[in-house]
Amino acid sequence: MIYLDNAATTPVRPEVIEAMLPYFNQFYGNPSNLYSLALRSRRALDEARATVAKAIGARGPEEIVFTGCGTEADNLAVLGLARARQNLGRHIITSTIEHHAVLYACEELRREGFQVTKLAVDRYGLVDPQELAAALRPDTILVSIMAANNEVGTIQPLRQLAQVVAGHQAYFHTDAVQATGAIPLKVEEWGIDALSLSAHKFYGPKGVGALYLRQGVKPWSVNYGGGQERGLRSGTENVPGIVGLAKALELATQGLEERLEPWRAKRDFLKEKLLAALPEAQLTGHPQERLPGSVSLVIPRLEGESLLILLDRQGICASGGAACSAGHGGISHVLAAMGVGPELGRGSLRLTLAPDIEYELLEEAAEKIAAAVQKLWKVNAISARSHRSGRRRGER
């Protein structure tokens, strides 16, 4: 099997599993209690909080809130911050290519009477900082723009965008679920107010995420219960998962700068092989400002789902776009926002590489993908000729 869908999820690293295991059946105490078994779980949470804060450049562990996933972190940031600050204004800014965890949260706020401005993106999927500046209003209370798009891999200029918002009453939130572990994050230095991440995107377990909240930034809770996580996320903490998230993030960020260039080289190797074999295919997303493992294409005269099924039979795991939207049919909202037409957009292919994948596997994958596309082109051409022939007979 050649796994090229790391943007959808990643396998859990052995070191992460090892770190998690004691908290399933040895240090299993509820961290809200006061006896020693429970306090051991509490210490694990405190250590994990400190590890996450350090990895993303936060000021301290008190700025980290653990959640059940990246979607929950996005919801807490968008819904919670907007509702907490509605006395200051009811205007929110986001972009047209955000993850549905943000877009659907904004739609809920619109139903509650908030106004939502969705910034357009250019053909690479980038938000123009000048358009962001022009969209800010006196009643704007929240700006939410993702760090990197999970479908085409384009990296947004977070520092520049956050600087546009600096000095305004609006908070700047970024969905960094796809970017964490793939690009360095420096929330304090860049002036980010809130940031969402999810462990299973960087070789940690599923079912656990985190939300960074700059000191003094406090949303309303979106769930109610025992008041865990400073009252922001009630529910007994998933201690093994949180330990796993912290360990995975520590491993993903250690030496990241040194790993980026070899990772990009593998990405470009696969991209160049595919474009040489399939000259009609087009790269989507920014050609340089993109995630180090992301290759995304649109291929004419092709239905993406047919290609994915054929590739699966060849032992290749790939995607036609965001995993959360798979199986919904039609063209993705991301490609549509970037100006890709429906005919071309239906042939989208997303390949996301692990940093340690071998070149031999990339060579094999490129050959199999090109052969699969050419096979489908041939089948489609025969089908089209047969259809035209049948129409002519019917006319006679």
Tokens for 88, please give them. 């200051």
- Select from 187, 189, 183 the least CA-distant residue to 202: 183
Answer yes or no: same fold for 10-253 and 257-386.
Answer: no
Q: Is 95 helix (H, G, I), strand (E, B) or coil?
A: strand
The CATH number of the structural domain formed by 257-386 is 3.90.1150.10
- Select from 231, 312, 259, 233 the least CA-distant residue to 3: 312
- DSSP H helices, the chain, are 14-20, 22-25, 36-56, 70-84, 100-111, 129-135, 158-165, 187-190, 239-253, 256-277, 304-313, 333-337, 342-345, 359-395
What pLDDT does residue 381 have?
A: 79
pLDDT digit string (tens) for the chain, length 396 residues = 999 999 999 999 999 999 999 999 999 999 999 999 999 999 999 999 999 999 999 999 999 999 999 999 999 999 999 999 999 999 999 999 999 999 999 999 999 999 999 999 999 999 999 999 999 999 999 999 999 999 999 999 999 999 999 999 999 999 999 999 999 999 999 999 999 999 999 999 999 999 999 999 999 999 999 999 999 999 999 999 999 999 999 999 999 999 999 999 999 999 999 999 999 999 999 999 999 999 999 999 999 999 999 999 999 999 996 544 444 457 899 999 999 999 899 999 999 999 999 999 999 999 999 999 999 999 887 766 665 555 555 555
Q: Amino acid identity, residue 29?
A: G
Q: Is 39 helix (H, G, I), strand (E, B) or coil?
A: helix
CA–CA separation, 268 vs 262, rounded Å?
10
Q: Give the residues across from 155 on adjacent strands.
A: 148
- Select from 285, 302, 294 the least CA-distant residue to 338: 285
What pLDDT does residue 385 have?
A: 65
Quote the DSSP letter at residue 117: E
What pLDDT does residue 386 have?
A: 61
Helix 256-277 crosses helix 359-395 at what angle (to 10 degrees)? 30
Domain 10-253: top CATH class: alpha beta
Look at phi and psi of residue 376 and say left if phi exceeds 0, alpha if psi is from -120 to 50, else beta. Answer: alpha
Task: Classify strands 316-317 and 91-95 as parallel, antiparallel or unpaired.
Answer: unpaired
CB–CB of 270/361 below 8 Å? no
Q: Amino acid identity, residue 325?
A: S
**DSSP states of 118-172 as a string?**
EE---TTSPPPHHHHHHH--TTEEEEE--SB-TTT-BBP-HHHHHHHHTTSS-EE
**231 exposure class (CB count in 10 Å sphere: 0-12, 13-18, 19+):** middle
324 is catalytic: yes
Q: What are residue 391's phi and psi, to 5 degrees?
A: -65, -40
Q: Give the residues across from 211 on adjacent strands.
A: 65, 196
What pLDDT does residue 326 have?
A: 44
Say how far residue 312 (Cα) sits from the centre of its chain.
23
pTM value is 0.94
Furthest CA-CA distance within the chain: 88
Could you say which of 69, 106, 317, 324 is catalytic? 324
Please state the length of the chain: 396
**25 exposure class (CB count in 10 Å sphere: 0-12, 13-18, 19+):** exposed
CA–CA separation, 179 vs 155, rounded Å?
8
Q: Residue ranges per domain, the chain?
A: 10-253, 257-386
| First and final C-alpha spacing in the chain | 51
Q: What are residue 192's phi and psi, to 5 degrees?
A: -80, 135
- Select from 102, 39, 107 the least CA-distant residue to 76: 102
